[in-house]
Structures are given as C-alpha cells and as structure tokens.
C-alpha cells in the first residue's frame, strides 16, 4: 500500500504492525479466552466435553444476537437500552396472538406460522420508533430508549396479564429448540448472523458508513453519506436482532416468560466493551464482539461448574468485565496511539 505514497513517514516495525493489526482486528481477548479454556479443562473435567461446549454456545447465542444488535447503534456513537425490553416483548406479543384465550392469549388466535413474522414485525416497529425519536424528534437515545425499556417491561405484563405463555407454537419455538447436524439451530442462527453482519461491518458500504458516522458525524455528512437514514436503520437492525434473540430464548424455554431478557442489556454492553467496541463510536469488530460474548459465556459456565455460589458468580462477572475493559482500553491505546472511550 505504501507504494502509493511518494515519501514514507517513519514506518512501523513488523512487530508493531502485527500488534496493531492484532488489536484493531479484535483479537485481543482470544489469548485470554484460550487461557481460560485450558484452565477450565484442567480444573473442571466436565468443562471440555462436547456436550458442555455446545451448551455454552447455545447459552450465548441469545446474548450474542443482542450484542450484535447493540453494536449497530454503538458503532454510530449511540446506544439502545430498549433492546432488553424487545427481547421480552416481541416473542410475548407474538405468543399472545397465537395461543387461545384459555392459555393466556388475547383471543385472536392467529395461525401458528405467523408467530415468527409477528415477533420480528413488532421488533422492527419498535426499532423504527427508536430511530424516529433520535433522528426526527432529536431525543438523546439514552433517555428515549430507557423510557421505552420501562414501557416495554410493563407492556409485557399488560399483554400477558402477568402470566407466562407456554408452548406458543412451533413457528416461534423452532429456532430456539430444534437441532440440525447435531448442533442447536440457535447456535447456527448466531453463527450465520455473526458472519453476515461481520462481513457487512467490514466490507459493505453500510458498515463503512457506520464507522464513519461513529468516528465523526459531521465529516460523514460532508462526505455525502445520508447520516440520518443510516442512524435510523441502525436502530431498526438492532431491534430486529434483539427480537430474534428473544425468539431463540422463547424457543429454548418453550414459553414466553414475563421476566424474559431481564438484565441482558448489561451483559450485552459488557460483551461489546470486552470485545473492543468503543462506546464512543467508530471502533469495534465482529471478531472482537464474539470474543466478548464467548468470554462471558465461558466464565459463567466455569463458575457454575466449579459450584461457586450464585451470588459470587454475579460479583465475579462484574469484576471480569472491569478487568477486561481495562485490558482492551490499554491495548488499543498502546497499539494505535489514538485514545478511545470504552
């Protein structure tokens, strides 16, 4: 590439170049992850079995999809707390539309195949509303999505009358419960979404626009990018992915639970930050994001296997988040010399 430039400024050494590429590519946490897996395999014999590893993957697929959704809006320097509400509300709304009134439905008993469409449709509408509030009304996304989060929590209780809905039908539960080629479909869904979105982030013009807007919104505007449309659509994509995550969760439990998704937005932020996604916008990769999600999954699994009391599991997850965030921030500062806020 440097052949394009007539004179070279001080060229970095090979080692530095590797370090920079390693960090900016999002690989920072993989050595840590590898070490954890090795430690886990030694300490807990049950850890390194294929059943357990698949179990981990299945557990993180919901968090993973939510984190990918969150990353859409975080890349453009915004945030969306309502994703947590969507994880609970979208499948619940679909469920009450499907099941008979006797099972807790609202009595319209739509055909079962519509379940997936309704859930994603509701999620999409919520995302569109979020985009409208931020782009057109000009609200700070923190406050507008916080309000919506609380509203959706209440909305779940209203549409379900406070009761969980069991067996909402195969269309809604297939993705979260079935297996293909010996792997849970939810893991495959997560894998496919992560791959496609990863490619979009890196190689698609939409992904480039996300990074440009997160890095400097005014510059993106001056470059001719339709900034408002990109911001708006990012909120829609985020909500759709959160809706999909909710569907997987409902499938795994074979029921839409009223408390579904509670607390997931914090884990999603943690996974994103651990994976090197900058909360200031403009920085973050799919490779890194996945490492953050995996790290949280592995730690939770290990602590459970080691029979650590659940109170300690929560506290230690928090500690790990802080340590990982510090590591990521230091690594990215060292490698690029550019300050980032995580």
Partner 1 sequence: MENIRPIVEMRNISKTFGSTRALKGVDFTVMHGEVHALLGRNGAGKSTLVSTMSGLVASDTGTIRIDNTEVVANGLPYAAKIRNDIAHVQQTPQLFNLLTVAENLFLENPLVQKKFGMVSHSLMLSKARALLDKWNMDIRAEALAGELSAGIRQLLEIMKALSRGVPVIILDEPTAALSNAEKKMLFEQVKSLKALGISFIYISHHLDEIFEVADTVTILRDGLVVKEREAVGNLNVELIADLMMGEKTARSVRSDHTRYDAPVLLEAKGVGLYPVTEAGVDFQVRPGEIVALAGPVGGGKEALAMMLSGQLTPYKGKISGANDTLPTIGLVPTDRHASGYVGILGVRENVAIGGLDLLSGTFGFIDRKKEAAHVGTLARQTNVIAASLEQAVSQLSGGNQQKVVFARALCHNPQVVVALSPTRGVDVGAKEQLYALLRDLASKGLGVVVVSDEEDEIAQLANRVVIVFEGKIVAELRGDYTMKDLILRMEGVI
Instruction: Tell me which residues touch partner 1 (CB under 8 A).
Output: 1-12, 199, 203-206, 208-209, 211-212, 215-216, 218-225, 282-283, 336-338, 340
- 23 vs 185, beta carbon nearer partner 1: 23
Look-up of token digits 């994001």: 289
| Alpha carbon distance 62, 155 (integer Å) | 21
Give the nearest distance from C-beta 8 to partner 1 in angstroms.
6
- 252 vs 283, beta carbon nearer partner 1: 283
- 177 vs 336, beta carbon nearer partner 1: 336
- Reduced to 3 states (helix: H, G, I; strand: E, B; else coil), residue 47 is coil
- Going by C-alpha positions, the residue among 1, 64, 44, 5 that lies closest to residue 288 is 64
Give the nearest distance from C-beta 342 to partner 1 in angstroms.
13
Length of the chain: 342
- 16 vs 161, beta carbon nearer partner 1: 16
Give the nearest distance from C-beta 326 to partner 1 in angstroms.
20
Is residue 292 within 8 Å of 67, Cβ to Cβ? Answer: yes
- 16 vs 304, beta carbon nearer partner 1: 16
| Alpha carbon distance 70, 205 (integer Å) | 19
- Going by C-alpha positions, the residue among 248, 282, 245 that lies closest to residue 265 is 245
Give the nearest distance from C-beta 240 to partner 1 in angstroms.
18
Give the nearest distance from C-beta 71 to partner 1 in angstroms.
16
- 7 vs 307, beta carbon nearer partner 1: 7
Give the nearest distance from C-beta 199 to partner 1 in angstroms.
7
- Reduced to 3 states (helix: H, G, I; strand: E, B; else coil), residue 337 is coil
| Ramachandran bin of 178, using left for φ above 0, alpha for ψ from -120 to 50, beta for the remaining angles | beta
| Alpha carbon distance 99, 268 (integer Å) | 31
Give the nearest distance from C-beta 201 to partner 1 in angstroms.
11
- Going by C-alpha positions, the residue among 210, 89, 92 that lies closest to residue 151 is 89
Look-up of token digits 């030694």: 42
32: exposed, middle or buried (C-beta count within 10 Å: 0-12, 13-18, 19+)? middle
Give the nearest distance from C-beta 202 to partner 1 in angstroms.
9
- 179 vs 204, beta carbon nearer partner 1: 204
Q: What DSSP string describes 246-301?
A: HHHHHHHHTEE-TTTTTTHHHHHHHHHHHTT--TTSS---HHHHHHHHHHHHHHHH
- 27 vs 206, beta carbon nearer partner 1: 206
């Amino acid at each position: 590439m440097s052949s394009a430039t007539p004179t070279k400024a001080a060229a970095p050494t090979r080692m530095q170049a590797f370090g920079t590429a390693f960090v900016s590519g999002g690989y920072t946490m993989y050595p840590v992850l590898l070490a954890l897996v090795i430690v886990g395999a030694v300490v807990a014999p049950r850890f390194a079995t294929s059943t357990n590893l698949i179990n981990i993957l299945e557990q993180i697929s919901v968090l993973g999809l939510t984190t990918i959704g969150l990353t859409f809006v975080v890349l453009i320097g915004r945030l969306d707390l309502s994703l947590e509400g969507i994880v609970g509300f979208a499948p619940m709304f679909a469920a009450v539309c499907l099941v008979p009134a006797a099972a807790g439905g609202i009595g319209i008993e739509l055909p079962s195949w519509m379940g997936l469409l309704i859930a994603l449709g509701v999620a999409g509408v919520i995302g569109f509303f979020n985009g409208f509030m931020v782009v057109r009304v000009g609200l700070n996304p923190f406050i507008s999505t916080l309000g919506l989060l609380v509203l959706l929590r209440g909305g779940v209780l209203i549409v379900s009358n406070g009761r969980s809905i069991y067996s909402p039908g195969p269309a809604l539960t297939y993705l979260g419960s079935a297996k293909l080629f010996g792997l849970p479909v939810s893991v495959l869904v997560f894998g496919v979404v992560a791959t496609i979105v990863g490619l979009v982030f890196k190689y698609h013009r939409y992904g480039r626009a996300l990074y440009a807007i997160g890095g400097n919104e005014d510059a993106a505007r001056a470059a001719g990018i339709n900034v408002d449309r990109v911001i708006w659509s990012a909120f829609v994509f985020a909500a759709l992915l959160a809706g999909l995550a909710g569907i997987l969760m409902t499938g795994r439990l074979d029921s839409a639970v009223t408390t579904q998704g509670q607390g997931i937005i914090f884990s999603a932020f943690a996974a994103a930050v651990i994976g090197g996604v900058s909360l200031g916008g403009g920085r973050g990769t799919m490779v890194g994001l996945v490492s953050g999600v995996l790290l949280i999954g592995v730690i939770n699994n290990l602590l459970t296997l080691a029979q650590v009391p659940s109170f300690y599991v929560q506290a230690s997850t928090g500690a790990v988040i802080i340590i990982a965030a510090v590591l990521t921030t230091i690594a990215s500062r060292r490698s690029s010399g550019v300050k980032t806020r995580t």
